[in-house]
């Protein structure tokens, strides 16, 4: 961890420390803002005492971050176009980070204070899109030039479809529970069970599954939302301390050789398929947005790969490279990956050829898409500790204000199992989703299936937050970026 500030002047070191504090503050807020959803049902149904549930959820969130991988982290980062990522180590990079984090924190705190289950994922994504769009406008480009449009579409579709699926599947699961366990006490609310036999806790096996699904949901939340925090930290570190973090300096000789071999295989792929590629696309249009010195079109990529081959072939560690060489190496790797991604999406390839190119891309970026262990632990701690405070407002909303009746044990189970499975699958596939919206939709699905009806005022508040989060955070972060650019850039 001491290498964070090595080689930095005082102003940059202070800026870096503040930026990291902002990211960890965002994750802490995310903990009590989003994770309250993970324990809402288990607390409301009296399956666990509130303080124990929150502490256990915090621990499982911590484990989710530690074990969750990095797929979602870099999906978030790649919302920004490659040319902005290439040049993030500038004053615009610092302004970008503070603008998007300020917008995300303000919106998250505001919706939490009002007790509205708004989405931290939507908040973060809107904030990133806002600074990307404004950066493009200030650079004299079309606003769409400032975002990775295809990645944004993929993520927004994921955020749109996942709540609808959550609502449908939770409703189906609840109907199945009601059909096959119709006489069970699992279909009582805590108040109804207490009135019937004086017990406040759910039946034993219902309680076990409620606790297990709540902890599973907490783990899934950590693996998905925690990765977003890791991605933000890496964006900060690469932007403000590029010499230390543009490449994984702990990479072994094997890791470096794997990166080098991937570049050579991509070169061979281009050479072998040059005629097919030339007949399909205008090579001159492939990366027209990139500055000339960083263009990596297939015909230019050959020279870049040769230079990369020479550089990596003469070292045993990235520490053997100067700061400028490490930055240049990362830029070549990002450009080659960006071009290979575009080439892989052409309709001319067999499934085997596309799979091969995708595997080469994964090896190519193995030493750029990484996170030091201390980053993962710091984010995990911030998210886990945040889980342990501020949960009451959201628990009350999820438990009592979505449906016209209180939540039954079976409804809690159906909602939690569905949400945990959906978020876990999303993390495994590297797609960011909203814990808040999936769980709220799942609860609503069980209410509809139970013919309990929905409370219009709460559903309206959640829907308004869902609709407003993206445009408001885009406007906030973009506006902050514009103001800061005029003052400091």
| Other residues' Cβ atoms within 10 Å of the Cβ of residue 253 | 10
Domain extents in the chain: 2-243+372-460+473-488, 247-364
Q: Summarize the chain as % helix, strand, coil (round to 5).
A: 80, 0, 20
Q: In 3D, which of 489, 484, 423 has the Cα closest to residue 37?
A: 423
pLDDT on residue 86: 59
> What is the structure's pLDDT at 371?
92
Of 15, 18, 13, the C-alpha closest to 2 is: 13
Per-residue pLDDT of 3-38, as tens digits, reads: 676 767 787 788 888 888 888 888 888 777 666 667
DSSP character for 198?
S
What digits encode the pLDDT tens for the residues 165-205?
888 998 899 888 888 887 677 777 777 777 777 777 788 88
How high is the pLDDT of residue 116? Answer: 67
pLDDT > 70? residue 117:
no
Determine contact, residues 226/65, Cβ cutoff 8 Å. Answer: yes
The predicted-structure confidence for 119-171, as pLDDT tens digits, reads as follows: 777 888 888 889 888 888 887 777 777 777 777 787 778 777 888 888 899 88
Summarised one tens digit per residue, pLDDT across range 40-91 is 778 777 888 877 888 888 889 889 889 888 888 888 777 776 666 656 555 6
């Amino acid at each position: 961890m001491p290498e964070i500030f090595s080689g930095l002047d005082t102003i940059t070191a202070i800026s870096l420390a503040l930026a990291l504090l902002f990211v960890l503050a965002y994750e802490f807020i995310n903990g009590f803002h989003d994770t309250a959803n993970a324990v809402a049902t288990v607390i409301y149904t009296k399956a666990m005492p509130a303080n124990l549930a929150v502490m256990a959820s915090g621990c499982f969130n911590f484990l989710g971050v530690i074990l969750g991988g990095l797929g979602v982290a870099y999906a978030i980062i790649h919302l920004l176009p490659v040319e902005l990522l290439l040049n993030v180590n500038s004053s615009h990079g610092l302004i970008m980070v503070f603008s998007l984090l300020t917008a995300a924190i303000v919106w998250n705190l505001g919706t939490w204070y009002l007790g509205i289950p708004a989405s931290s994922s939507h908040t973060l994504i809107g904030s990133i899109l806002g600074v990307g769009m404004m950066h493009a406008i200030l650079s004299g480009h079309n606003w769409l030039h400032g975002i990775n449009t295809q990645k944004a579409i993929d993520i927004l579709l994921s955020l749109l479809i996942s709540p609808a699926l959550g609502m449908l599947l939770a409703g189906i699961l609840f109907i199945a529970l009601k059909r096959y366990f119709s006489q069970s006490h699992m279909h009582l609310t805590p108040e109804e069970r207490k009135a019937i036999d004086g017990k406040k806790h759910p039946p034993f096996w219902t309680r076990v599954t409620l606790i297990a699904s709540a902890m599973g949901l907490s783990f899934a939340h950590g693996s998905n939302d925690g990765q977003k925090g890791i991605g933000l930290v890496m964006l900060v570190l690469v932007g403000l301390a590029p010499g230390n973090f543009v490449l994984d300096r702990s990479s072994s000789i094997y890791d470096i050789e794997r990166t080098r071999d991937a570049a050579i295989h991509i070169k061979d792929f281009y050479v072998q398929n040059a005629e097919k590629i030339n007949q399909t696309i205008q090579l001159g249009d492939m990366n027209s947005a990139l500055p000339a010195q960083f263009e990596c079109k297939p015909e230019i990529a050959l020279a870049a790969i040769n230079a990369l081959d020479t550089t990596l072939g003469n070292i045993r560690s990235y520490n053997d490279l100067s700061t400028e060489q490490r930055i240049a190496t990362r830029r070549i790797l990002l450009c080659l990956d960006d071009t290979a991604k575009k080439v892989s999406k052409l309709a001319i390839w067999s499934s085997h050829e596309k799979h091969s190119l995708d595997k080469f891309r994964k090896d190519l970026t193995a030493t750029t898409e990484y996170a030091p262990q201390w980053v993962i632990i710091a984010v995990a701690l911030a998210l886990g500790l945040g889980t342990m405070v501020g949960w009451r407002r959201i628990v009350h909303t999820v438990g009592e204000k979505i449906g016209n009746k209180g939540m039954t044990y079976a409804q809690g189970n159906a909602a939690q199992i569905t949400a945990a499975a959906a978020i876990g699958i999303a993390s495994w596939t590297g797609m960011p989703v909203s814990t808040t919206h999936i769980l709220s939709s799942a609860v609503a699905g069980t209410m509809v299936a139970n013919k309990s009806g929905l409370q219009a005022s709460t559903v309206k508040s959640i829907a308004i937050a869902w609709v407003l989060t993206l445009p408001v955070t885009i406007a906030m972060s973009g506006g902050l970026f514009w103001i800061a650019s005029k003052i400091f850039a």
